[in-house]
Structure 1
């Protein structure tokens, strides 16, 4: 059952991650950020520091994409079959997130939806930092199982990059409310959804691992 779930979930993660990457490259590299709907709305405010904002925005977007793609690969058995590469990619994943965590607060100050959205994105930033830092601490202490569990949680937060846009679209279609409500709501729902799926998956793994000794003993009865 666990393997079937993984075979279903991982392809979905990969497809969404690559589609999102294509969208980011198209929207912010081939075209200009100012042509994006959310950014063009900010430009209507003459006090919006667009030039400085871009210095923080581009590292945020491209380091986020790097973490999204590397993290997806790190979840696979193929990655773990090459420990040296897995460790190297893991370091880059951690660095990409830790640097990103530093630039998010400035970007959050100008989040669509005002102060409620700023707070929501700062909460997301704390979850991102916390889950990643705990995962790194565990591998430094040679606690491989706990490391894998917390890095899976870390990737769940990284995947909010993708989930947020899907959830936001659903929320905006379902609720007639201002962006100061729909944006932070979508952030919180995305965090909760991703972590809930992760905890469900980890719970299934724990149940399976606990049942294995019993099944082995029954074979000898």
Structure 2
């Protein structure tokens, strides 16, 4: 089960990272989003690009914090990637607070994305504190929680693909379902991590 989850993370993270940088470097803003979102992209292209770019960097750099073999084999590189992850999360989360204020889907979506960014910031602060104290047990717990929130960028796209295939862009149900993505993209991630991973880790510490 763990190997399957790790393989899924690696494949989706690499795909998402390449997709993000391709979209923002080679394509015009709003090319890959729905027609309704193109207006927002045109008005807030810089903040969205910063949020998405550093989010993709965090997604890629943070992946290695979950790989025990990589951490043990390349400790110096792991420390550098960890600092890159901290910085990228903070930049993406802070700009995300602003991006959330004009998110599509109404008030519920805005609250969902805003809450995600607040918890994202708080959990990375806890990760840094544990790291500075050299409390690796607490660090592992907080960094996994934080990465589950970082991974929301992947689950958001997976939900979008599912909705597009079921309803299509123009269908009224698309807008109805889209209103829930502000929570759907990250709440299941935390539930899964707490139940299947961190609960076991906490039991081992007792």
* Structure 1: runs of 5+ lacking an equivalent: 211-221
Alignment partners' CA distance in 2, 1:207 and 1:141: 22
By how many angstroms is 1:22 displaced?
Answer: 2.6
Q: Equivalents in 1 of 2:77, 2:163: separation in Å?
A: 40
State how 1:101-140 maps to structure 2 within 5 Å: 101-140=93-132
Unaligned runs of 5+ in 2: none
Aligned to 1:17: 13
Instruction: Tell me if the contact between 2:51 and 2:92 (Cα under 8 Å) persists in the aligned partners.
Output: yes
Contact 1:138 1:144 in 2 (8 A): yes
Structure with the greater alpha carbon radius of gyration = 1
Q: Which residue of 1 aligns with 2:63?
A: 72
| Deviations 1:62-104, CA, capped at 9 Å, x for gaps | 1111110111112112332233222221111011111112211
Distance 2:199 2:38 in 1: 46
Cα displacement (A) at 1:109: 2.3
Matched residue, 2:48: 57
* Residue from 160, 181, 184 that aligns with 1:186: 181
CA contact (8 A) 2:17 2:57 kept: no
What whole-Å deviation, never above 9, does each CA across 1:158-213 have from its counterpart, x for those lacking one? Answer: 0000001212443563896362x423412312322111221111223444566xxx
CA RMSD of aligned residues (A): 2.4
Q: Distance in 1 between matches of 2:4 and 2:201?
A: 15
What does 1:164-203 align with in structure 2 at a 5 Å threshold?
A: 164-170=156-162, 173=166, 177=173, 179=175, 181-199=176-194, 200-203=196-199
Task: State the aligned residue count.
Answer: 200
* TM-score normalized by the length of structure 1: 0.80
